[in-house]
Amino acid sequence: MNDTTANQSLWTNPWSESDPRSCLFEYQHRFWQDPARFKIALFARQTGKDFTASGELVADCFEALRDGRGGTQWMIAAPSERQSLETLDKVKDWVRAFHGAIDGCREQREAGAESLLKSAEVTIRARGTKASSTVRAVPGRPDTVRGSSTNVLLTEFDFFEDPGKTWRAIMPSITNPLRGGPKKVRIITTPNGLGSAAHKIWTKNAGKVVWSKHQVTIHDAVRMGLPIDIDELREAFDDPEGWAQEFECEFLDTASVLLPYEILAAIENPAATLASPLEYWLTRDKTAAPIDLGIDFGRKRDLTCAWALENLGGFKMTRCVTTLEGTPTHIQLQLLRPQMKAARRICLDYTGPGIGFGDLAAAEFGRWNPSQHQFGKVELVTFTNQLKCELFPALRAAADQRLLGIPQDRAIREDLHSMCRVVTPSGNLTYRAPHTTDGHADRCTALALALRAATQSPPSNGAITPEILSKIRIEQPRFTPMRLHPHEFRR
């Protein structure tokens, strides 16, 4: 028996089974039914905070249509466009659950389909009515929220690139009664350190803005019905400080995004390619610019990602980003063999399930470990905190100096943006990324490993020449990124 099964809540959901709100747990119901204009909630991870807040948002949209207001407007902002769009998807689910109609969906981006998201919007209507409400999702940045006179849902607010500046940008619009009347504000987040933006709001006890505060730890959630084994989850998480913050809602670590969108936009390069055809790897000769490869290995839970960098003097251009999902180890080696054979150096994740793959790769291509007089291709990299503190600052420095070219691709951008620099309560530095449906910053790790391989190799072409610059700027053919499953390989 885990430590919270005792003293279970005796609460009964008041909604009938035909009402979609009947699926709510007690802590979700409490937050939803709180009518306060300003609400902040510290929710533990995996307790359904976006699900709850998006449901309340939809209910408010329909209420505005019923009470003669002619609809209302909400804006969702999150640390990344992926999170913003996922919350918007939950909004759509709640609209359908309430038997409403979605009249239109539209998405605006900075340029092409793979460029930065400006906003995504859905129009909601109660069946049998003409009036509508709108819900708009944006990445949580000062420039995307500024000037919006609308009700606001800020999800994972404490993990915005700059939550303080974003809050300052949005507050004048939502507190000005002349701009469409009073606006509601919902902040839902897990804590991100003493002195963070959410911590300042959470600990503020005076002022004209009165916050209604809700705290839901993993223990609260399980006591109120969430079917999770806490002991199993804690053992799998295996990080006492992270557990206290992520699941017990204590303000401990302070995290900041390693690669903000502004920096990623600056290194996105039209000459970078997501994939290269097999002939590219098979026909390379000694006169071609060298390729260095970083491989972050995943077997079941995470992706394998192989990131290939072409070394054009001091500039590293992406030539291929291969992702493999749920693929047996020997098939991964077979799929990646052409790239590994063509590479000058390979830095390979040699942690956990990566050990077996690393042994196979080192046996075939030779191990690189100069301290032991081994001068093959493959450096077997065991992930320690010390290694993280070497890899990721080097990646940030290369990005700051614009020495990298990466493809303009939404999955890559969101993956690189998800890695965070974390300062623990004891003052130690580490790097973390959340697990998502699309991995665990696997592409970011692979890129950092590729950069390590490239920068630890002997220089090949010296300084960047005009000829190399012309290669950097010329548009290269683009190919569909490789993401394979074992059954696809067998076909």
SS (H, E, C) the chain: CCCCCCCCCCCCCCCCCCCHHHHCCHHHHHHHHCCCCEEEEEECCCCCHHHHHHHHHHHHHHHHHHCCCCCCEEEEEECCHHHHHHHHHHHHHHHHHCCCEEEEEEEEECCCCCCCEEEEEEEEECCCCCCCEEEEEEECCHHHHCCCCCEEEEECHHHCCCHHHHHHHHHHHHHCCCCCCCCCEEEEECCCCCCCHHHHHHHCCCCCCCCEEEEECHHHHHHCCCCCCHHHHHHHHCCHHHHHHHCCCCCCCEEEECCCHHHHHHHECCCCCCCCCHHHHHCCCCCCCCEEEEEECCCCCCCEEEEEEEEECCEEEEEEEEEECCCCHHHHHHHHHHHHHHCCEEEEECCCCHHHHHHHHHHHHCEEEHHHCEECCEEEECCCHHHHHHHHHHHHHHHHCCCEEECCCHHHHHHHHCCEEEECCCCCEEEECCCECCECCHHHHHHHHHHHHHHCCCCCCCCCCHHHHHHHHCCCCCCCCCEECHHHHHC
Output the pLDDT for position 87.
Answer: 94
Output the pLDDT for position 130.
Answer: 81
Output the pLDDT for position 174.
Answer: 79
pLDDT digits (tens, 9 = 90+) for 339-385: 999 999 999 999 888 899 999 999 999 998 888 888 899 999 998 99
Output the pLDDT for position 5.
Answer: 44
pLDDT in tens, the chain (491 residues): 344 444 677 899 999 999 999 999 999 999 999 999 999 999 998 899 999 999 999 999 999 888 766 788 999 999 988 899 999 999 999 999 999 999 888 888 887 777 888 889 999 988 777 889 999 999 888 888 887 788 999 999 988 888 888 888 888 777 766 666 788 999 999 988 777 888 889 988 777 788 999 999 999 999 999 999 999 998 888 778 778 888 999 887 777 889 998 899 999 999 999 999 999 999 888 788 999 999 999 877 778 999 999 999 889 999 999 999 889 999 999 999 999 999 999 999 998 888 999 999 999 999 988 888 888 999 999 989 999 999 999 999 999 999 999 999 999 998 999 898 888 767 788 898 876 665 578 999 999 999 999 988 654 444 444 444 444 443 333 333 444 443 333 33
Output the pLDDT for position 423.
Answer: 82
